[in-house]
Amino acid sequence: MYYVYLLKSKKDDKFYTGCTNDLKRRIILHNEGKVLSTRDRNPLVLVYYEAFLNKEDAFQREQWLKTGWGRNHINKILSNYLSKI
């Protein structure tokens, strides 16, 4: 199983989108500062994820979510959650 995930930094309120085959382990690595791209943005909270059976499908979805259309899509589907934080 492969996961595309969205983390939100409690430090700067920005999002990080990533892809992994071990979601729990990857979130731990992010919050321990062992992931270069997020080490200065801890703590991070998981706000969204999707599961895929195929690695290529997961990475393709990750790339799409990083586009303007993808970010708009995430903002729409998480609008209730995002309005309360």
Q: Is the pLDDT of residue 15 over 70?
A: yes
What is the domain range of residue 46? 2-83
CATH of the domain at 32: 3.40.1440.10
Mean pLDDT, to the nearest integer, of 55-70?
97
Looking at the structure of the chain, the number of domains it has is 1
pLDDT of res. 85: 60
User: Is 39:45 a contact under the CB 8 Å cutoff?
Assistant: no
Judge contact between 26 and 20, C-beta under 8 A: yes
Positive or negative CA dihedral for 18, 44, 75, 12? negative
